[in-house]
Amino acid sequence: MNESMNTQQVRQRYDEMAGNWRLLGIVDSLVLINRLRKKHIGNASGAVLDVACGTGENFPHLRNASSITAIDLSAEMVDEARRRKRQLGVAVDLLVGDAQSLPFGDDTFDTVVSALSTCTIPDYVTAFHEMTRVVRPGGQILLLEHGRSSVGWIARRQDRHIDRVYARSACRNNRDVGAELAEAGLDPVSHVATHLGAINQITIRG
């Protein structure tokens, strides 16, 4: 892969894309990601933090939350998320901020969720550590992450196109999510891969 973007470059990329990002909802439905959001992210309960919330695609699935806080690097994405929360009529405390340095105290949340996000975060190890810091002991971190397919020809295709994909969306869609979690010293209690091994539902205990 070509040189990685820094945090400012990722922010700029998502600021530029924010207006079109809600189209993701349509793609979500077509490839059944929204079902996985419902099934996996829908397990969130109590005080919930949505890290790198984007336009708020997780919000409809946080029905068991007693409170929702959501943070994203891109002010434009947060503006879209604000519109989404109004449409849905849900209460969400929305902030612009960096997952690599979360502005919350230790053990603040019962559940941390994050979807399709850590592939875009330059220092993903620090972001994983930040998620574990702000979740209370015994709480849970629910991740829905895409990565390198377990099917050989699809993985090779992902590798071939990674420079173009990364330049367009700051997304390392061929990364090995399990290896990145291990690099951060995290050992999930559950890791289920679907969509030809390219979508990962991960649960980590706080």
Backbone angles phi, psi at 138, to 5 degrees: 90, -10
Q: Say if residues 132 and 206 touch (Cβ distance below 8 Å).
A: yes
Q: Which of 57, 5, 25 is nearest to 170 (CA)?
A: 5
Element (H, E) at 102: none
| Residue 115 near ligand SAM by CB under 6 A | yes
Closer of 75 and 187 to ligand SAM (Cβ)? 75
Query: Judged by CB under 6 A, which of 34, 69, 74, 149 binds ligand SAM?
Result: 74
Query: Judged by CB under 6 A, which of 36, 49, 53, 134 binds ligand SAM?
Result: 53
What six digits make up the tokens of 31?
């490839």
Query: Judged by CB under 6 A, which of 69, 111, 120, 132 binds ligand SAM?
Result: 120
Query: Judged by CB under 6 A, which of 54, 139, 147, 188 binds ligand SAM?
Result: 54
Residues 109-128, buried b or exposed e (16+ Cβ, 10 A)?
Answer: bbbbbbbbbbbbbebbbbbb
Q: How far is CA 89 from CA 63, 80, 155, in A?
A: 12, 14, 40
Site string for ligand SAM, 10-29 (x = CB under 6 A): x---x---------x-----
| Residue 143 near ligand SAM by CB under 6 A | no
**Cα 135–chain centre separation:** 16
Query: Judged by CB under 6 A, which of 112, 116, 134, 193 binds ligand SAM?
Result: 116
Number of residues lying near ligand SAM (CB under 6 A)? 22
Q: How far is CA 137 from CA 111, 118, 132, 183, in A?
A: 10, 22, 9, 21
The interface region with ligand SAM, picked from 113-121, 155-163, 173-181, 194-202 by CB under 6 A, is 113-121
Closer of 90 and 137 to ligand SAM (Cβ)? 90
Task: Please report, as ranges, the residues that interact with ligand SAM according to CB under 6 A.
Answer: 7, 10, 14, 24, 52-54, 57-58, 72-74, 77, 98-100, 115-117, 120-121, 171
